[in-house]
Amino acid sequence: MAVSTDAPYVLVTGGTGFIGSHTVLVLLSQGFRVVVVDNLCNSCEEPLRRVEKLAGLSSRVPFHKVDLTDREGLRGVFQQHSIGSVIHFAALKAVGESVQKPLAYYRNNVAGTLNLMDTMAEFGVKNIVFSSSATVYEAVYEGLPLREDNPLGCTSPYGRTKLFTESVIRDTVDASEGVNAIMLRYFNPTGAHESGTMGEAPLQAFPNNLMPYVSQVAIGKLPEVHVFGSDYNTRDGTGVRDYIHVMDLAEAHVIALKRLAENHGYEIFNLGSGNGQTVLEMIRAMSEACGRDIPYKIDPRRPGDIDTILCEPSKAAKVLGFTVRRDLKQMCTDLWRWQQANPNGYE
């Protein structure tokens, strides 16, 4: 689809990251104009070059290396571009790191959002989709699927920054006429673009998330997967989580963006499949995708981990018309295609 030359821009913060870059691609493919802001602390510009190629663009996606804590730098972006709405991804996101560096997380994630909301208000931008997280929910040990009205409570500074940010946005909506916001609380994104040219490229020596870790063991960069705990109350003793393909997730953000135009105020939606896989099931599925055994080692449980975390996705299906379209096999196949073609990520 041709990109409009006169429509307002969608500002995507954190748009060079894993989910952000895939969302930029979906936006462009549906005719939106996009401007990207990212401080590149956990990413690089290369994903945008690949987005441009996949989208068939003849020009560059406007990009600004700006930290959201830099108010004047952010104002400069709004001054340069006619922005009509925002999809907000930019955040530090490692749970363990947030415990070690809480002030950095509050400064970046919460203070950065305050600057963003202030700047949106200054320039009359009234619509925002916030990329939130299932970490905002109170830990539930019964293994019941989490609904949007479940009790909220966080076990890490990272989770609290997401919850505080939701509160900032909600209070802004309540206090402002015509402001609309959608919170998307998603669970465990994985997979990659089906072309194999875009995917998750963690900069850490040992990835924080399971599937990049598994894929790096499969490619031979790491010796084995460490499985934390085998005595949970699940079908094989390892933890159950709800995984969602990154392209499903990207498409959901664009669906939410379109809904903002209907002026529903403040809304919250869970994004997930409603079906969970154990850690060992994920390792086996990846092993089938790559055609080789993936070694793993059982280690003791980590503090704070629970048996099962599942999404109750019916609200998103009913209101947004969103359900996941890509299954576990496609997640692993796409992830393996990306990992094989890009063993060192975007380097």
Burial of 269 (0-12, 13-18, 19+ CB in 10 A): buried
3-state SS string for 261-312: CCCCCEEEEEECCCCCEEHHHHHHHHHHHHCCCCCEEEECCCCCCCCEECEC
Among residues 304, 306, 239, 329, the alpha carbon closest in space to that of 278 is found at 239
Residue with tokens 């920054």: 161
Contact residues for 161 (Cβ-Cβ < 8 A; gap 6+): 91, 92, 98, 105, 106, 109, 110
Identify whether 158 is a catalytic site residue: yes
Set 9, 105, 137, 158: catalytic member: 158
Tell me how far the alpha carbon of residue 182 is from its chain's centroid. Answer: 14
89: three-class secondary structure by DSSP: coil
- DSSP code, position 235: S
* Rounded distance between C-alpha atoms, residue 142 and residue 126, angstroms: 39
Q: At what angle do helices 279-290 and 210-219 cross, to 10 degrees?
A: 40
Among residues 165, 185, 156, 63, the alpha carbon closest in space to that of 108 is found at 165
Count Cβ atoms below 10 Å from residue 278 Cβ, excluding itself: 21
Alpha helical stretches, state H, the chain: 18-29, 46-55, 71-80, 95-100, 102-105, 112-122, 157-175, 210-219, 246-260, 279-290, 314-315, 328-341
Tell me how far the alpha carbon of residue 129 is from its chain's centroid. Answer: 12
Are residues 314 and 272 in contact, defined by beta-carbon separation less than 8 angstroms? no
- The catalytic site residues sit at 158
